[in-house]
Structure 1
Amino acid sequence: MGNILTVKDVILAPGNGSFFYDDQAAIRAGVVSDGFCYRGTPVTPGFASIRMPARSLSLGLVLSDGMIIWGDMMSVQYSGAGGRDPLFQIDAIESFTRSVVIPRILSVDLSNFLDACSHVLAQHNGKRLPLAIAYGVSQALLRAAAYLSRTTLAEVICSEFVLPLPEKPVPIYAQSGDAREINVDKMILKSVDVLPHGLINSREKFGPSGETFRNFVRWVANRITEIGEPGYHPVLHFDVYGWIGLEIGMEPAKIADFICRVADDVPDYRLNIECPADFGSTDPQLDGYAEIVSLLDSRGSNARIVVDEHCNTLEDIRLFAEAKAAHVIQIKMPDVGSVVDTAWGVLVCKEEGIGAYVGGSCSETDLSARAAVHIAVATQADMMLAKPGMGVDEGISIIGNEQSRLLSVLNYRRSQNLVRNAEGTSG
């Protein structure tokens, strides 16, 4: 390629996430909604109001040939909850990036992605970097490596992790937000692989003894039959934000009993239940979920437990996978940090026979969402989130189109290799 490309400068651009940051603790405590806002005082540190517009900070690597390569930093919707990093404060993130991260980037060798990430994202004063920074910087370094090698991001991951080039698409999971019925219809009409999330994040939505939630599950299954294409049979996935435990009780046996009843309501479907209970911290979550999983498995239930809260970093993912404390682990990319750790997280799940869900948040950006596709496809995760935003259509389009383009590129590469090999043989 001639001269070796280096990073000659780094530029920053403040921006917006695709949804909002919400104070989960305040919402769980029962604050009143007012239109799209919430009334009341925030509880989680850093929140000026219960719902705040999501922000992002883009980091651009100015290469020595003049090309500028971008990555986006941001946090998840429920920042500061479930053991996650605190709320994304753009001024603090920018200051830390300028003082600590940029000097490291200017001395990095872009040609080796894993080494570059290790160098730039190394601890500072004995502490890990803020995970939002690790997420955005690793995206930029991955794109730079792909630019240097003239390949896709997925091919860089396959090369660095010694994985075969993928051939199969990863199932896409869409989330409804509060506009449940309309968005469920959109998902069904678009034949989404996994749906609908449901946002069951309050007592009102869960209902006394969970009846409101159970009615919604039955309605989704019936709606699929009513308006879905013939043969369309998605996985049903509901995030209940700990409300089974809050309403039914925190005993794993009671939680398993309730989940079995929900599964019996929709016997023809695979049922994913995300965050059935929040046990408060990682160790109790690990023990409680392992017991719930064991009970469901012993009963032959078609329900699967998905862990999110208190399973954030790669270390957490490894703990839950090894303990069989979930059937599926959400690898929530901004909470995991570096995209390297997301890739490792999928591979750890696969090694332990646990489902790997490459997730994230509605508060992300189009740029981070497209990077997520390459990680999920390269590692052949079991499902990936349609993100960003809560409008359904946008996330399905961004994730679905990026996956389609990527698989077309990889198929083209394979066909060209076959032609070259045939020509070499005939020659």
Structure 2
Amino acid sequence: MQIKDVLLAPGNGAFFYDDQAAIRSGATQDGFIYIGEPITPRFTSLRVPASSLSVGLVLTDDTVVWGDMMGVQYSGAGGRDPLFETAEISDLTWRVVAPRLLDVDVSLYLDACTRVFEPFGKERLPLALKYGVSQALLRAAAYLQRATMAQVICAEFDLPLPTRRVPIYCQSGDAREINVDKMILKAVDVLPHGLINSRQKFGADGQTFVEFVKWVATRTREIGRPEYHPVLHFDVYGWIGQEIGLDPQLIADFICKIADTVPGFTLNIESPADFGSTQAQIENYAKIVSILDNRTSNARIVVDERCNTLEDIRLFAEAKGAHLVQIKTPDVGSIADTARAVLICKANNVGAYVGGSCTETDLSAKASVHVSVATQADMMLAKPGMGVDEGFSIVGNEQNRLLAMLNRCRAQTENVS
């Protein structure tokens, strides 16, 4: 089965692209917008509606399978690719990628990805482009094999059919209190993200943040079911380092102090500090991890910034530079590399969190579910968007449908044997 044509369709991401550098520098919020001058290249304002680009592969029987390309919310920050520009990506897809797609066997998923994503000249292809095209190739392989995308991943990586559901993590956006209540009522596995991305939200010496952590734990006990006991996960966008300083000991002390305020809960702290480079991030995060482990703290460090590509993830995992690695799918590129990233984390006894961004689409979110379940990641992000209900529904329902199909396949195999 080959591809006989390629389609492109511009679209919307489910949230906005934000200039993280400008926000960190003190940009003020006015309603939903930020006031100030852009700092990060390509941004014309501090908050830009997220765009996407769908790529459709027309197969020889005229079936069309799709994948979606887009950037992440904080594009251009922390070593990431620059802001996604539809016209630029569209041009590169037509000139370079489309001719390659017409010359591959879509039944051989990993081989097709390797051939299509070869460097162009001396430059690698944009990771957002690889992300969308790899989704479409995965759907094509699944269609041809009359299988789920998860089964294709299992076959390509020699993995057993999964049986366990993957815990789902929701993010609140700025509507923190309302969305925390939604998460608790829906018994989300991991919550609430919190979007602690400014000095105002973190507070002097972190006191505003500490009070918010305590409130989430209290609220969970107040309105959650008696047996409900989620993991508490907060993304602080480097603000512990910004306010407390970049000494790993001081950062670890602060995190332990927070963990002590919510006894009985596992506490995930994502992006506690930004040390300026991947190597510095690895070395200092490893020190923080070691201190927390020696204290048998119930806090865990999650890395995001400076850990973008598959090679970055390998370096962090091998150095134990985090308890949990966010595999930020559009930043990793090919969704086959997301699968590889999970397996690298597991081989190094480091947690694998298949994340991504609120800027994604329903199609990219569903593909991420199949990879997460196939590789048995430790948790996955409810996406796209910041509204809780939509992302949780898209990801949760896709996982449940997938597990039902896999259970049927397993039962049929057992009956035959």
Q: Which bracket does the TM-score occupy, shorter chain normalised?
A: over 0.9
Aligned to 2:292: 296
- The percent of aligned pairs where both chains have the same amino acid is 70
Aligned to 1:62: 58
Aligned to 1:19: 15
Question: Would you say 1:38 and 2:47 are equivalent positions?
Answer: no
Question: Would you say 1:184 and 2:180 are equivalent positions?
Answer: yes
The alignment partner of 2:48 has SS state of strand
Question: Would you say 1:371 and 2:395 are equivalent positions?
Answer: no
2:139 to 139, 143, 146: 143
- Unaligned segments of structure 1, at least 5 residues: 422-427
The alignment partner of 1:219 has SS state of helix
Aligned to 1:278: 274
Read off the aligned partner of 1:256 and give its amino acid letter: A
Residues of 1 paired with 2:4 and 2:293: CA distance? 55
Structure 1 residues 157-166 or 280-289, which shifts more? 280-289
Residues of 2 paired with 1:168 and 1:109: CA distance? 32
The alignment partner of 1:33 has SS state of strand
Aligned to 1:96: 92
Question: Would you say 1:170 and 2:166 are equivalent positions?
Answer: yes
Question: Would you say 1:125 and 2:121 are equivalent positions?
Answer: yes
Question: Would you say 1:229 and 2:225 are equivalent positions?
Answer: yes
Aligned to 1:87: 83
Number of residue pairs the alignment of both structures matches:
417
Residues of 2 paired with 1:127 and 1:328: CA distance? 30
Question: Would you say 1:391 and 2:387 are equivalent positions?
Answer: yes
Offset of residue 126 of structure 1: 1.6
The alignment partner of 2:256 has SS state of helix
Aligned to 1:425: none
Offset of residue 298 of structure 1: 1.1
Read off the aligned partner of 1:162 and give its amino acid letter: D
Residues of 2 paired with 1:319 and 1:176: CA distance? 30
The alignment partner of 2:307 has SS state of coil
The alignment partner of 2:162 has SS state of coil
Aligned to 2:334: 338
Question: Would you say 1:260 and 2:256 are equivalent positions?
Answer: yes
Offset of residue 419 of structure 1: 2.1
Residues of 2 paired with 1:312 and 1:31: CA distance? 25
Read off the aligned partner of 2:258 and give its amino acid letter: V
Residues of 2 paired with 1:32 and 1:214: CA distance? 22
Read off the aligned partner of 1:303 and give its amino acid letter: A
Residues of 1 paired with 2:306 and 2:121: CA distance? 25
- Unaligned segments of structure 2, at least 5 residues: none
Read off the aligned partner of 1:312 and give its amino acid letter: N
2:45 to 46, 49, 72: 49
Aligned to 1:328: 324
Offset of residue 420 of structure 1: 2.1
Read off the aligned partner of 1:254 and give its amino acid letter: L
Q: Which runs of structure 1 show a deviation greater than 3 angstroms over 4 or more consecutive aligned residues? A: none
Offset of residue 6 of structure 1: 1.3
Residues of 1 paired with 2:156 and 2:416: CA distance? 24
**Offset from partner CA, 1:245-276 (integer Å, 9 cap, x none):** 00011100000000000000001100000000
Offset of residue 305 of structure 1: 0.2
Aligned to 2:235: 239
Offset of residue 128 of structure 1: 1.1
Offset of residue 299 of structure 1: 1.1
Offset of residue 418 of structure 1: 2.0
Offset of residue 213 of structure 1: 0.3
2:378 to 379, 382, 407: 382
Aligned to 1:310: 306
Aligned to 2:343: 347
Residues of 1 paired with 2:124 and 2:340: CA distance? 17
Residues of 1 paired with 2:159 and 2:279: CA distance? 33
The alignment partner of 1:15 has SS state of strand
The alignment partner of 2:284 has SS state of helix
1:413 to 395, 409, 416: 409
Question: Would you say 1:361 and 2:357 are equivalent positions?
Answer: yes
Residues of 1 paired with 2:300 and 2:286: CA distance? 12
Aligned to 2:149: 153
Q: RMSD of the TM alignment (CA)?
A: 0.5
TM-score by length of 2: 1.00
Offset of residue 97 of structure 1: 0.4
Residues of 2 paired with 1:354 and 1:245: CA distance? 23
TM-score by length of 1: 0.97
Question: Would you say 1:113 and 2:109 are equivalent positions?
Answer: yes
The alignment partner of 2:56 has SS state of strand
Residues of 2 paired with 1:106 and 1:391: CA distance? 39
**Offset from partner CA, 1:120-170 (integer Å, 9 cap, x none):** 011111221100000000000000000000000000000000000000100
Offset of residue 415 of structure 1: 1.3
